[in-house]
Chain A
Amino acid sequence: MAELKFIGGYPVYMRESIKLVEKTRPKRIGKLLPQMTSRERVDILNLCHPDYAPGGKRALKIGPNRGDVVPNEVADLFEAYPLIDPDKIDLSKVDYEMDILIVGGGLAGTSAALLANDNGIPTERILLANKLRHGDANSMMAQGGTQAADRANDSPVLHYIDAIGGGHFTNKPDVLRALVEDAPGVIKWLEGLGALFDKNDDGTFVELTGGGTSRRRLHACADYTGLEELRVIRDEFRNRDIPVLEFYPAVELLTDEENKVVGAILWNMETEEYKIVKSKATVLATGGFGRLHIRGFPTTNHYGATYDGPVMAYRTGAKLRDPDTVQYHPTGAAYPQQIIGLLLTEKLRTSGAQPVNKNGEEFVFPLEPRDVEAASFIRECYIRNNGITTPTGMKGIWLDTPLIDILSGKGKTEKAFPAMVRMFKRFGIDMIKDPVLVFPTLHYQNGGVETDPQGSTNVKGLFVAGEVSGGVHGKNRLMGNSTLDCMVFGRRAGMHSAEYVKEGVKVGKLGFKHVEKYIQELKSAGIKTDRRAPLLLPDYRGKAVLARAIDIF
């Protein structure tokens, strides 16, 4: 095969298609296709959205959500045996005795620690356990912004209506109301802690819309929003000297005789030693499941996004909500090979970038809710065959990013999207001059452990916050509501777990009754497998090496 010739990061044959995009560009400026009707939205989802297409899901055989249909990759983890053998763990020696254990240190877990502390739990009675480093989380990678209805033509009620419609009217109303009513307070909290939001000269926030968002209410820090929010609250956390463990994932929760959650088993990823944490309350803030690569999709997610939280919570009897829905972000990178699946923020589209096909034609309103937008990209590539195929066989459509500078003036892209510009530049592509190739990527776990407005679950002593939880977004989350969810419910879980502790909790004898019961259920359901969970990390080692590996130590 002949060597591919590249011009400005793209092979020559892709350049041919870019020429067509450039040709149609002047005609497209300021003109958008209309939004789809509700009927059209339903039709396209049924046609080719991975959540709706058959073959990807099955009913759970055991547990509180038995009979509910979930993605196969998720069912595999619920229908798996524990990592630990309850008989081999010595629970008589407790390593850490705490008021509150927080598992997971992204925006949700870190917010929970701060608010627990604000609400009367001394720093030394809080422990934050992380699977990797404190801050290793999807939060860090959030680009677009955080929604809060604070402008005069907006209101929390409008925010509520946008989110419930975006979620196909399946959101838990009281939980969603808490999200939108707390939102302005969260922004003010961050501002007071020193977060650098994009602002106008008079100090007002620069605000944009997102897909399915009817008013401009996204607060952003360029395209490093999550990074800025997290590093600010993590710095605040560090200043308070709250105890933290890193590279210590939780591998199982602990319960007492009343089936209250009373701590967890942590595992040192390097020495392989386990530690026992006894705590009056436990907050799970373990994040999402992108690394399960549901339906074979690449992901925007962090290395540690492996669904550990719901797996552990489910064994204690925690109910799940909307565990069947997966959010595919319409614009994952589809080229070059090194960054396939990585996120290209929706803010690119809110700033004017249009999706177009290989002929440079528009085929969808750029800001449909994410599931609808993603399905339309899949249709364009795989049903209408109007996608562009990369040298490694990926298909994608163009996101016409040069429009951003054309619409808003030279320098706008660089100022508003430094992370995006940098990422493409590293691989030889200039997104200010050339469009970039995109395809839907696995982005977000819409559902999870069912929460109430306080961050409590149906299991006493167990609180949840952030992506691990289910209810607030229903079956589809809107842009800018995830970082918000993390902080609203991180703060609420911190506050309410503190209240719960202060009301007086009698921790009984630490035990694994729930695990033993779960193992029994697995056996009675006839589930014979060597799968074990939680997964902790994905495995990307080369096949050739694994085939010759010998397990010695």
Chain B
Amino acid sequence: MAERKISVMDSVRKASQSVIAGVDEKDIKHWVEIYIMGKAYKVPADLTIMQAMEYAGYRLVRSCGCRAGFCGACSTVYRKKGEYKLQTAMACQTRVEDGMFLVQIPFSPAEKPLYDIKKVKYEPFVLLKYFPEISRCLSCNTCTKSCPQDLQVMDYVQAALKGDFKAIAEDSFECIQCGLCAIRCPAEIVQYHMAQFAMRMYGRYGTLRDKNVEKRIREIEKGEFDKEFDRVMNLSMDELKKVYTEQQNTREVY
């Protein structure tokens, strides 16, 4: 029995070896050539840009965060050999391609206005008050084209000019604040800070509050569950296990 358990774990370890400890050159079938800040490196073709940089020998400190497309740390700019187009990507979510000339953006300098959400008035004009540079928007759509999340960035900047908090919140909700739009914007707008402000304002003032949660907080404060807690916390282990099983049998599914 014990032997089989060990061998299962060994098989699991072996199966994911290529992700954790890297691959041996002899096992690689497909290669591409990429240029990291101008230097050429031959790397396996099935890696992300981030994994390829590591394979090439870079130990990342900047430009590497969650490695899963949620944090916006690994903003990357690249041009492919023979192409005029400057492209943007998240290094952790983009496969390497032959002939990529790439560089990472380690930091995006951006001013953020400070505000007190409890005191700001929820009115359309407030967006322009805190982010006057949105009025400089040229409608060139460069922000939208540079967004690695494929958000309609220019649309929400335009919505901001109209003071439409709901539209901004919906269009920018999936923003990971990588900063690529702001770096590319010829009007020097910091789109993601504006969107953050608008989302919070919409969340606080533009949506209905949940009543159940407030009721429950009052019940807890009044100690309405104390008796039941005392009972459950004093059950013997066997009794507690029984209570748990019974509760699981009454579960809501979906």
Where the two chains meet, the residues of A that have a C-beta atom closer than 8 Å to any C-beta of B are 1, 32, 35, 38, 47-48, 50, 53-56, 132-133, 135-136, 138, 140-141, 148-152, 155-158, 160-162, 164-165, 169, 173, 177, 181, 184-185, 187-188, 191-197, 199, 202-205, 208-209, 212-216, 221-222, 224, 226-228, 231-232, 235-236, 238-239, 241, 247, 269-270, 293, 295-298, 300, 302-303, 336-343, 350-352, 367, 378, 382-383, 392-395, 407, 418-419, 422-423, 426-427, 537, 539-546, 549
Q: Can you report 12 residue pairs joining A to B where beta carbons are below 8 Å apart?
A: A48-B8, A150-B210, A191-B209, A193-B203, A196-B169, A196-B199, A203-B208, A205-B213, A209-B253, A213-B251, A214-B248, A422-B150
Return the 10 tightest CB-CB contacts between A and B, nearest first.
A203-B208, A194-B200, A296-B13, A194-B203, A165-B244, A545-B57, A214-B251, A194-B204, A53-B5, A542-B55
User: If A35-B248, A157-B229, A158-B247 touch, does A302 touch B65 (CB 8 Å cutoff)?
Assistant: yes
Contact present for A165 and B114 (CB under 8 Å): no
Across the interface, do A185 and B217 meet the contact criterion of CB distance under 8 Å?
yes
Question: Which residue, of B196, B216, B247, B252, has the highest number of chain A Cβ atoms within 10 A?
Answer: B216
Report the Cα distance A250→B174, complex, angstroms: 32
Task: Provide the bound-state CA to CA distance between A396 and B104, in Å.
Answer: 33
With beta carbons under 8 angstroms apart, the residue of B173, B214, B220, B241 that contacts A169 is B241
Give the nearest-CB partner of B16 in chain A: A298
Indicate with 1 or 0, residue by residue over B2-17, a CB within 8 angstroms of chain A CB atoms.
1011101101111111
Q: How far is the CB of B98 from chain A (nearest CB, A)?
A: 16
With the chains together, A165 CA to B213 CA distance in Å?
Answer: 24
- Enumerate chain B residues within 8 angstroms of A135, measured Cβ to Cβ: 71
- Say whether B117 contacts A194, CB under 8 Å: yes
CA A544 – CA B25 in complex, angstroms? 8
Does chain A have a CB within 8 A of B116? yes
What separation, in Å, do the CA atoms of A296 and B22 have in the docked complex? 12
Q: Which of A214, A297, A394 gathers most chain B CB within 10 Å?
A: A214
Let me know if B19 is at the binding interface, CB within 8 A.
yes
Interchain CA distance A525-B204 in the complex, whole Å: 57
Residues in B lying within 8 Å of A, measured CB to CB: 2, 4-6, 8-9, 11-22, 24-25, 29, 46-48, 51, 54-62, 64-71, 73, 93-95, 112, 114-117, 149-150, 169, 173-174, 176-177, 196-197, 199-204, 207-217, 220, 225, 228-229, 232-233, 237, 240-241, 243-245, 247-248, 250-254
Inter-chain contacts of A303 with B (CB < 8 A): 60, 64-67
Q: How near does chain B come to A166, taking the closest CB pair, in angstroms? A: 9
Apart from the given pairs A38-B245, A352-B254, A422-B150, 10 other A-B contacts in the complex at a CB distance below 8 Å: A48-B5, A150-B213, A173-B233, A221-B173, A239-B114, A295-B9, A303-B64, A407-B254, A422-B149, A541-B57
Q: Which of A132, A158, A187, A298 contacts B19 (CB 8 A)?
A: A298
- CB of B215, distance to nearest CB on chain A (Å): 8
Interface centre among B12, B115, B117 (most CB of A within 10 A): B12
The answer to whether A169 and B253 have CB atoms under 8 Å apart is: no
Complex: A270 Cα to B61 Cα, angstroms: 8
* Nearest-CB residue, chain A, relative to B2: A54
* A185-B218 Cα distance, complex, nearest whole Å: 10
Q: Which of A227, A232, A293, A350 has the most CB of B within 10 A?
A: A227
Q: Assuming the A-B contacts A1-B29, A35-B248, A191-B210, are A418 and B174 also in contact, with contact meaning beta carbons closer than 8 angstroms in the complex? A: yes
CB distance A55 to B9 under 8 Å?
Answer: yes
In the complex, the chain B residue whose C-beta lies closest to that of A392 is B18
Task: Return the contact of A340 from the options B16, B201, B208 (Cβ within 8 A).
Answer: B16
The answer to whether A165 and B177 have CB atoms under 8 Å apart is: no
Q: List the A side residues contacting B70 at CB < 8 Å.
A: 140-141, 224, 226-227, 419
Residues of B within 8 A of A148 (CB): 213, 216
A342 to B57, CA, bound (A): 23
Inter-subunit contact B176/A194 (CB<8 Å): no
State how many angstroms separate the Cβ of A9 from the closest Cβ of chain B. Answer: 12
Residues of chain A with a CB closer than 8 A to B9's CB: 50, 53, 55-56, 295-296
Residue numbers in A under 8 Å from B29 (CB-CB): 1
**In whole angstroms, how far apart are the Cα atoms of A457 and B28 in the complex?**
49
Residue in contact with B211 in the complex, picked from A185, A203, A393, CB distance below 8 Å:
A203
